Amino acid sequence: MTTIAVLGAGKIGEALLAGLLKGGRSADELLFTERHPEQAARITDRYGIAGVEVEEAAKRADVLVVAVKPQDIDPVLTALAPAVGPGTLVVSLCAGLPTSLYERRLPDGVPVVRVMPNTPMVVGEAMSAISPGTHATAGHVALVKELLSSVGQVIEVPESQQDAVTALSGSGPAYFFYLVEAMIDAGILLGLPRAVAEKLIVQSAVGAAKMLAQSTEHPVILREAVTSPAGTTINAIRELEKHGVRAAMLDAIEAARDRSVELGK
Ligand SMILES: NC(=O)c1ccc[n+]([C@@H]2O[C@H](COP(=O)([O-])OP(=O)(O)OC[C@H]3O[C@@H](n4cnc5c(N)ncnc54)[C@H](OP(=O)(O)O)[C@@H]3O)[C@@H](O)[C@H]2O)c1
């Protein structure tokens, strides 16, 4: 039995616990820490998982998944340092925090794997990119891949690419939400009731996402298939190009990457 403790059962932490249960782990194999007693009680009631202190989690768990906000990491590392054993795998879900930070603060040789997940984890559709630190073996990477597969898809990337990953898939869902919001506004502008515009756009997003995921075609080909000569779509595309939407997207994602680099310092 592998005991897994999630440190910080907020949005991402809770989604992971729920996914692990759904994926076949039993509540006895899982632990969590949470500083709000009401949130801890709610999680125990809902999932039957025990809430413990960070030090106890460090002693009992084989895998410690850190899911607190990056700015809350300091007290967590202070509590873990004297309690964590060399055989314990530490998995960090914290945006921007390098494996070297954990390696510096925790006992020598503790294996660390860094993960950049995203919020679709709450519906079992996360995109997680993982990178092993200095002491993590192929076995550790395989275990983390297996754990995260219960809440979505997983790829391995070198840690040097994690800032780019953060800007693309970490923040990515927000870009789609923003686009959907703007398209719903366009529906309102054209006189549609909000509920109708929302239904039209959200289902179009779901359908387009499924086509992208299932098709082997490049997105350009999928778009060309709905862009008929002198039709409506090409008129819309001309406006998007005129307003520099593609260039705005490149600049936006580059700015997100730069901010991720800054946060990691
Ligand atoms: N949400 C995303 O889109 C996303 C995407 C990729 C990665 N991540 C990463 O995932 C991590 C968690 O994000 P989140 O959105 O789930 O944040 P969140 O909802 O704020 O969850 C973090 C939870 O940990 C608790 N906590 C803080 N310090 C603690 C401690 N010392 N011991 C026990 N519990 C503690 C927090 O309590 P308080 O409420 O008191 O702070 C909160 O309930 C972050 O590092 C973030 O960078 C998030």
* Separation of alpha carbons 153 and 126, rounded Å: 6
The minimum-distance atom of ligand 1 relative to the CA of 118 is 5
Give the CATH number, domain containing residue 182: 1.10.3730.10
Query: End of a domain among 125, 158, 191?
Result: 158
Number of domains in the chain: 2
Per residue in 117-155, pLDDT (tens digit) is: 999 999 999 999 999 999 999 999 999 999 999 999 999
What residue ranges line ligand 1, CB within 6 angstroms? 7-8, 10-13, 33-36, 39, 54, 67-70, 72, 75-76, 93-95, 116-119, 170
Give the CATH number, domain containing residue 29: 3.40.50.720
Q: Has residue 164 been placed in a domain?
A: no
Which residue range is the domain that position 238 belongs to?
Answer: 172-263
Q: What is the DSSP letter of 231?
A: S
Under the banding of pLDDT at 50, 70 and 90, the label for residue 265 is confident
* Separation of alpha carbons 241 and 39, rounded Å: 47
pLDDT of residue 27: 97
**According to the annotation, is 70 in a ligand binding site?**
yes
Residue 168 Cα to ligand 1 midpoint, Å, equals: 20
Residue nearest to atom 11 of ligand 1 (CA): 67
Q: What would the two tokens of residue 19 be?
A: 């996914």
* Separation of alpha carbons 142 and 161, rounded Å: 19
**According to the annotation, is 209 in a ligand binding site?**
no
Residues 251 and 121 in one domain: no
Residues 68 and 136 in one domain: yes
Q: Has residue 103 been placed in a domain?
A: yes
* Separation of alpha carbons 218 and 246, rounded Å: 16
Residues 252 and 186 in one domain: yes
Query: End of a domain among 158, 181, 200?
Result: 158
Size (the chain), residues:
265
On average, the pLDDT of the chain sits at 96
Residues 150 and 190 in one domain: no
Residues 12 and 96 in one domain: yes
pLDDT of residue 198: 98
Mutation choice for ligand 1 from 33, 39, 69, CB with most ligand atoms inside 8 A: 69
Per residue in 222-242, pLDDT (tens digit) is: 999 999 999 999 999 999 999
Residues 148 and 193 in one domain: no
CB of 54 within 8 A of CB of 78? no
Residue 94 Cα to ligand 1 midpoint, Å, equals: 8
Per residue in 63-117, pLDDT (tens digit) is: 999 999 999 999 999 999 999 988 899 999 999 899 999 999 999 999 999 999 9
* Separation of alpha carbons 260 and 97, rounded Å: 9
Residues 125 and 152 in one domain: yes
* Separation of alpha carbons 21 and 33, rounded Å: 17
Task: Report the SS3 class of residue 154.
Answer: strand
Query: End of a domain among 98, 126, 158?
Result: 158
pTM of the model: 0.92
